[in-house]
Structure 1
Amino acid sequence: MLSSMDNNLTYRGTFQLNVVSGISNLPLSDATLKIYYTGIPENQLEELTTNSSGQTETIELPSPAPEYSLTPESEIQPYSEYTLEISADGYIPQVISGAEILPNVKAIQNISLMPADLSGPANEIFVIPAHTLYGEYPPKIAEDEIQPTNESGEIVLSRVVVPEYVVVHDGSPRDSTAKNYYVRYRDYIKNVASSEIYATWPEDTIRANVLAIMSFTLNRVYTEFYRNRGYDFTITSSTAFDHKWIANRNIYDSISLIVDELFADYLSRPNVRQPILTQYCDGERVTCPNWLSQWGSKDLGDQGYSAIEILRYYYGNDIYINTAEEISGVPSSWPGYTLENGASGQKVRQLQEQLNVIATAYPALPKVVEDGIYGPATTEAVRTFQSIFGLPQTGNTDYRTWYKISEIYVGVSRIAELN
């Protein structure tokens, strides 16, 4: 069912919904998704149902032409907006107005539904504001890129740790009415990057921006910046102070894959222990010497610059990529090499054990014999896992796949312990 609006939306992006229970974090099957153009509620475009993994099929939706997200001079909104209505028996329905579809990339909408309560709300409504490169937002208040850590009573971590969660204050620091959200670190980075750059940009431009976002965030974590000032959160959603994070906004696969590839990394300078507070601006409406320009980084990516070359162009030649010493919330670190058909040993056995635990919550995932041998059955189980969770379907356990399996395993096993 298409309307005359499609005449102005001649390209296509793809879209998929993932639904879990807000109590158990387990996938919800048979949830219903209805899709409308935002602002045209009488014109339903699609109705889909989730499978045993809590996912709808991937569908195409109309979007504007790619060039609108590839040039700062365009005054045309570079993404189309949709309203999503998600419901499931026994759960509070959710409505998301303003989900953003870009051309030629996959949008992923992750939703957590809470069980219905007769005394609770009839539904939950989330309105997604404009993308930061299209809407009007306050510019970043400049700070020193290396935060002082010698004040009386200052608490600073002894080493850089990638947290499992960050606490996001959805407003300015002094807004006591703003809600705090507990957000997985990787999900937070994916949300911010999807809110602040366009997923249609070159891969190395996305990598450079993701590294800047992660380094800034880990500086806030490392220095306990807000907690040392009496606040009970890690970071805010205010562009004047931190990054733009938007509750329940969709993310994009091109950004998600890069975050999973880089999530333990941050930016360093020689003889500086803390992650660098890498500030940036759009480079068009707001200019910022010695900071990364988002649109400028896009131009450099077009010219073939690598991520580190883009970062050094803005932050100087002594900036380099470092890796955190510790990743919170994972049972065991990656073995340091890709596990594939023919591999064997304790790491393979551990992988098989984790896949079997995950399979109890995701029945589409086949169970395997926990024999420590990476054979065809383990390869197929990994390939199925990769398909469910949006990773390249190689059947090999690389860095991204290992840590995604760890993340899902921890979530599923915690629920099993509670039960």
Structure 2
Amino acid sequence: MNGSIPTNSDTPSKGKLQINVTSEINHFPVSGANIRISYTGIPDSTIEEVTTDSSGQSETLELDAPPVEYSLDVTSEEQPYSEYTLLITAPGFETISIAGTEILADVTAIQNIQMRPSDSSETGEERFVIPAHTLYGIYPEKIPEAEIKPVNETGEIVLSRVVVPEYIVVHDGSPRDSTAQNYYVKYKDYIKNVASSEIYATWPANTIRANVLAIMSFTLNRVYTEWYRNQGFDFTITSSTAFDHKWIPERNIYDTISVIVDELFASYLSRPNVRQPILTQYCDGRRVQCPNWMTQWGSKSLGDQGYSPIEILRYYYGADMYINTAEAISGIPSSWPGYNLEIGSSGNKVRQLQEQLNVISDAYPALPKLTADGIYGPATAEAVRKFQEVFGLPETGITDYSTWYKISEIYVGVSRIAELT
């Protein structure tokens, strides 16, 4: 496979890889899982072997990657990422192999893996092959649609307000492909997966923000208008680039993208006097041009020039586009208080936070137990900092917007067996 093994040079570039392993059934971490890493295309050439800790995590590994310039230069024809194969085994679980984990220079790839408990002594092996990144491979171009959907037709089901769903159903194929599998995917995980599949994580942060906003707005338009359900389908969105976005089962995501999705996940794009999120379509801007839509390489160039996310979006979609926030987030026990919780804070929101962290610590023993007294002291700050370390958030010990909702998400995951597996 071209580009599987990075080109040899005196000082090869490096990317990082961090692996998180949980049980598919109860979302608890799987400690002691063995992970063997080899170059894709040479599966017997184990180059690293690691074991997960009590949080189900590997150490962060440094792996060879092509020069970062390959992912930053619109004219480069070189594959900008190296590809690795992971073989994951753990007692009591089915073996998983993932071929094609993509390592970019200078960023951390995060490979989240859910293992299926094995119900017999004969363990099977689940195999996943990650196809090429959309900016490197060849994919069908988006079939243009109206960016605002008619919602007054008879029999049309439309939500009365914009709600960020907890899960969406992704049809892994084109809409009429009845053989394609449907997947229940957490909304935030879906957005992180699509952004990691469609833009490079090495790009400027504001370029990533603009693209994430476009992906989320498009997705929430599909949710809000119940676009596919109104056509008789039982899914929210597809993984076909001709219709929607590229979503890839079991692909890795990147730290630079994950942190931005956690920061923005309740946002979408609006136009004046239009209730629904705008169906923000885009193309790559290199192989395909798309007037009046954002181009991904063009947004990268504007980010390089110092444009803000909204300036990038308005450059393509017009001056009346603005960023809105969803009225509700489903599946969340309680909404963010509207201000950071930190040392000196007190009250019911702090107590609720402490109680949720205590439930999470049953699954993640690296987190210390707290006295749920409603007072945010040094012990609570340290528990929050440890949570942030385990779940890849900036380690501040302060419960900001991203941390509050990540604690809620993990709490919901470990405190109930997901109804949607």
**Which interval holds the TM-score relative to the shorter structure?**
over 0.9
Q: Does 1:149 align with 2:151?
A: yes
Find the partner of 1:312 among 311, 314, 325: 314
Question: Structure 1 88/150 Cα, relative in aligned 2: closer, same or farther at 3 Å?
Answer: same
For 1:253, the equivalent position in structure 2 comes to 255
Q: Which of 264, 267, 286 is residue 266 of structure 2 equivalent to?
A: 264
CA gap 1:263/1:48 in 2 versus in 1, 3 angstroms: same
What residue identity is the alignment partner of 2:415?
Answer: S
Deviations 1:94-116 (A, max 9, x none): 11000000000000000011112
**How far does the alpha carbon of each residue in 1:156-214 deviate from its partner, in whole angstroms, 9 at most, with x for none?**
00000000000000000000000000000000000000000000000000000000000
Greater mean alpha carbon deviation, residues 149-158 or residues 260-269: 149-158
CA shift at 1:120, angstroms? 7.9
Q: CA deviation at 1:90?
A: 1.2
CA drift of 1:42 comes to 2.4
Return the letter of the residue paired with 1:411: G
Q: Which of 396, 399, 408 pairs up with 1:397?
A: 399
Superposed, 1:75-224 pairs within 5 Å as 75-118=77-120, 122-224=124-226
- What SS does the corresponding residue of 2:416 show, helix, strand or coil? helix
State how far apart, in whole Å, the 2-side matches of 1:5 and 1:74 are.
Answer: 16
Of 340, 361, 383, the match for 1:338: 340
TM superposition shift of 1:284: 1.1
Q: CA separation in 2, counterparts of 1:149 and 1:366? A: 50
Letter in 2 for 1:151: E
State how far apart, in whole Å, the 2-side matches of 1:166 and 1:49 are: 32
How does 1:2-41 map onto structure 2 within 5 Å?
7-8=8-9, 10-41=12-43
Q: Which runs of 5+ in 1 are unaligned?
A: none
SS in 1 for 2:383: helix
**Residue in 2 that maps onto 1:373:** 375
Contact 2:25 2:417 in 1 (8 A): no
CA distance in 2, matches of 1:139, 1:415: 39
Question: CA 1:107/1:5 → structure 2, altered by over 3 Å: closer, same or farther?
Answer: closer
Post-superposition offset of 1:378: 0.2
Take 1:136 and 1:240, find their aligned partners in 2: how far apart are those partners?
12
TM superposition shift of 1:6: 5.9
Listed one character per residue, the Cα deviations across residues 211-253 of structure 1 (whole Å, up to 9, x for unaligned) are 0000000000000000000000000000000000000000000
* SS of the residue 2:316 aligns to: helix
119 and 181 in structure 1: CA distance in 2 versus 1, 3 angstrom threshold: farther
Contact 2:213–2:268, Cα closer than 8 Å, also in 1: yes
Tell me the CA shift for residue 151 of structure 1.
2.0
| Worse overlay, 74-83 or 38-47 | 38-47
Task: Measure the CA separation in 2 of the matches of 1:416 and 1:245.
Answer: 21
How many residue pairs align between the two structures? 415
| Secondary structure class of the residue paired with 2:8 | helix
Which residue pairs with 2:354 in the alignment?
A: 352
C-alpha offsets along residues 342-389 of structure 1, whole Å, 9 cap, x if unaligned? 111111111111111111110000011111110000000000000000
Report the 3-state secondary structure (helix = DSSP H, G, I; strand = E; otherwise coil) of the residue aligned with 1:407.
helix
Instruction: List structure 1 runs of 4+ shifted beyond 4 angstroms.
Output: 3-6, 118-121
Aligned-pair RMSD on alpha carbons? 1.5
Q: Return the letter of the residue paired with 1:344.
A: S
Q: Is the 8 A contact 2:7 2:66 kept in 1?
A: no
Q: Distance in 2 between matches of 1:143 and 1:327?
A: 27
Selected match of 2:390 from 388, 391, 401: 388
Aligned AA (1:403): Y
Match of 1:301 in 2: 303
Cα distance between partner residues in 2 of 1:412 and 1:122: 26
Is the contact made by 2:143 and 2:242 (CA closer than 8 Å) also made in structure 1?
yes
Distance 1:4 1:78 in 2: 11
Alpha-carbon displacement from aligned partner over 1:244-265 (angstroms, at most 9, x marks no partner): 0000000000000000000000
Alpha-carbon offset, residue 4 of structure 1: 8.6
- Percent identity over the alignment is 74
Aligned to 1:7, the other structure's residue is in SS state: coil
Shift of 1:7: 1.5
Partner of 2:48: 46
Deviations 1:308-346 (A, max 9, x none): 000000000000000000000111110111111111111
In structure 2, C-alpha distance between the alignment counterparts of 1:138 and 1:337, rounded to whole Å: 44
Give, in whole Å, the separation in 1 of the partners of 2:70 and 2:6: 17
Give me the whole-angstrom Cα distance separating, in 1, the residues matched to 2:286 and 2:78.
16
Q: Secondary structure at the match of 1:48?
A: strand
CA distance in 2, matches of 1:143, 1:415: 39
CA distance in 1 between partners of 2:90 and 2:168 (Å): 29
TM-score normalised per structure 2: 0.97
2: CA distance, partners of 1:240 / 1:58: 36
Judging changes above 3 Å, is the alpha-carbon distance between structure 1 residues 361 and 118 closer, same or farther for their aligned structure 2 residues?
A: closer
